[in-house]
Amino acid sequence: MIMFMGEYHQKIDDKGRLTIPAKIRYELGDNFIITRGLDGCLFVYKNERWEKIINHYQELPNIKEARNFMRFFLSGANPQTFDKQGRINISSPLIKYAGLSKNVIVIGVGDRLEIWSEDNWNKFIENNEDNFSDQADNLFSQNLN
């Protein structure tokens, strides 16, 4: 299984094209999905992982909460491939959702990539940096040592 990690500072052009670093392109493969993520960023999934997510969502009960989340998550999903320069083309609704402008941050988060506006990423770090130690203790306390 591929484990995405790292932080990459990139630029998006006026046409919504974003160059993905070569190492990530190789790990991501030729076909992948980009969609609305949580916390104001975009999620990028390898096709294999996307299929597992969709299979899981199809097992959810037909209740309003599940329907609404699926609408949000799936309506923004776009199949992607890289152009010859290693760029992806992000649709204008996704650019608007994530507040992307010229400077963006691409981060690896295990089974997915996240694409953040530089401003939103910096705010996320600033708003959470004092809590990371407590969060680690809460999540992993039984596995530490």
71: domain CATH number is: 3.40.1550.20
Residues 6+ apart with CB under 8 A from 73: 35, 36, 57
Determine, yes or no, domain membership for 67: yes
Which residue has better confidence, 143 or 26? 26
Question: Hey, what amino acid is at 104?
Answer: V
Residue 115: give the domain boundaries: 4-140
Query: Does residue 145 lie in a domain region?
Result: no
The pTM is what? 0.88
Per-residue pLDDT tens for 28-63? 988 999 999 999 999 999 999 999 999 988 888 889
**Mean pLDDT, residues 82-105 taken together:** 95
Counting the structural domains of the chain, the total is 1
The answer to whether residue 115 sits within a structural domain is yes
Higher pLDDT, 121 or 60: 121
Q: For residue 47, how far is the Cα from the chain centroid?
A: 13
Token pair 């402008």: residue? 101
Residue with tokens 């994530």: 98
Q: Which residue has the higher pLDDT, 139 or 119?
A: 119
Residue 40 lies in a domain: yes
